[in-house]
A and B are shown apart, each in its own frame.
Chain A
Amino acid sequence: MSTLNVSNISDGTTTVGTEYVVNGSSKVWCCWNGTGTAAVRDSHNISSLTDNGTGDYTFAYTNNFSSSNYTIAGCFAFSSAVTDYTYNTQPRENSVVTASNVRLLTLYTGLSIGLGDYPYATFETQGNLA
């Protein structure tokens, strides 16, 4: 693979520094199926998914972050249309976000609250790699 070393990228009218492109790209992403036997649907920079229990997963990175100061976002969906619940992917607690992995919960909130497994679940991160 060849490398193009440039400081800026331009479409003729707008110019942006390449550091914004590099720093702004997602460093880790994963789409997984938590139903049945949990499996990764597709991903980048993940070495493994660990199914810890209902709605509880750990993702290990291949290229770790430089520190635990990076951002995480995610969403997931039930197998049919849902209008009375909201879903949220969140770290189990502050200490489970580390440079090398993260432990995430898939939490539903509505008429009741709890953890669940879903056929379409995702998360992605942004931050500085090691």
Chain B
Amino acid sequence: MTQHLWERLLEAKSRLKPVQSKYRVLFEDPNAPDEPAKVLVPDPNWMAAALEGDILPPIDTYQRDRLVPDGEPKEHPYAEPIGPMTEEEAIEYLIMKDIDPAVWRDYKGNRTIMKIVPVELIPSDRSFRNAWKINQEADERIAA
């Protein structure tokens, strides 16, 4: 019988060293165009589990569970875990798991609303944080 995901996460945290990803995902919500660009930060313990393998469930179990009503049994905690991912594969998994499909799947406009960028391209000065937008030029830096 497959061990529950919660138990696998506890066991993984006890033995794996956290991994700070060198990537961030910039995205804008097409349903909230007035909001600033958002920055998705992979969790270091989650990234360690993704790189290790045999801990996290298949991404499609989360996608099916989105359709399951509150309080009904979910599939992902009991699914057979998948093998190790590369960091790039883990980022793609996170995009599909944690970002609304309206951003990464359904958007058909011309504006670039999502980019995977090295962490050093994210500004550390937050003075104008609520004015951040994804720069539409070749330079990948966020433009305020």
Asked if B5 lies at the interface with its beta carbon under 8 angstroms from chain A, I say yes
State A49–B40 Cα separation when bound (angstroms). Answer: 6
Contact of A63 among B9, B39, B40, B43 (CB under 8 A): B9
Q: In B1-46, which residues have CB < 8 Å from any A CB?
A: 3-7, 9-11, 13, 18, 20, 24, 35-36, 38-46
Count of A-B contacts judged by CB separation below 8 Å: 115
Asked if B119 lies at the interface with its beta carbon under 8 angstroms from chain A, I say yes
Asked if B56 lies at the interface with its beta carbon under 8 angstroms from chain A, I say yes
* Chain A residues whose C-beta falls within 8 Å of the C-beta of B20 in the assembled complex: 39
Contact A129 B126 (CB under 8 A): no
Asked if A130 lies at the interface with its beta carbon under 8 angstroms from chain B, I say yes
Tell me whether A67 and B71 are in contact in the complex, defined as CB-CB below 8 angstroms, given that A43-B45, A48-B41 are known contacts: yes
Asked if A53 lies at the interface with its beta carbon under 8 angstroms from chain B, I say yes
Contact B41 A130 (CB under 8 A): no
Contact A37 B124 (CB under 8 A): yes
B residues contacting the other copy or chain, number (CB 8 A)? 45
Asked if A64 lies at the interface with its beta carbon under 8 angstroms from chain B, I say yes
Contact B43 A47 (CB under 8 A): yes
Contact A49 B126 (CB under 8 A): no
* Chain B residues whose C-beta falls within 8 Å of the C-beta of A129 in the assembled complex: 6, 77
Asked if A38 lies at the interface with its beta carbon under 8 angstroms from chain B, I say yes
Asked if A62 lies at the interface with its beta carbon under 8 angstroms from chain B, I say yes
* Chain B residues whose C-beta falls within 8 Å of the C-beta of A42 in the assembled complex: 18, 44-45
Contact A53 B130 (CB under 8 A): yes
Tell me whether A54 and B44 are in contact in the complex, defined as CB-CB below 8 angstroms, given that A1-B11, A37-B124, A45-B6 are known contacts: no
* Chain B residues whose C-beta falls within 8 Å of the C-beta of A64 in the assembled complex: 62, 65, 74, 76-77
Asked if B129 lies at the interface with its beta carbon under 8 angstroms from chain A, I say yes
Q: What 4 A-B pairs come out closest when comparing CB atoms?
A: A130-B74, A67-B70, A60-B98, A36-B124
Instruction: Identify the B interface with A (CB < 8 A).
Output: 3-7, 9-11, 13, 18, 20, 24, 35-36, 38-46, 49, 56, 62, 65-66, 70-71, 73-74, 76-77, 94, 97-98, 119, 122-124, 126, 129-130, 132
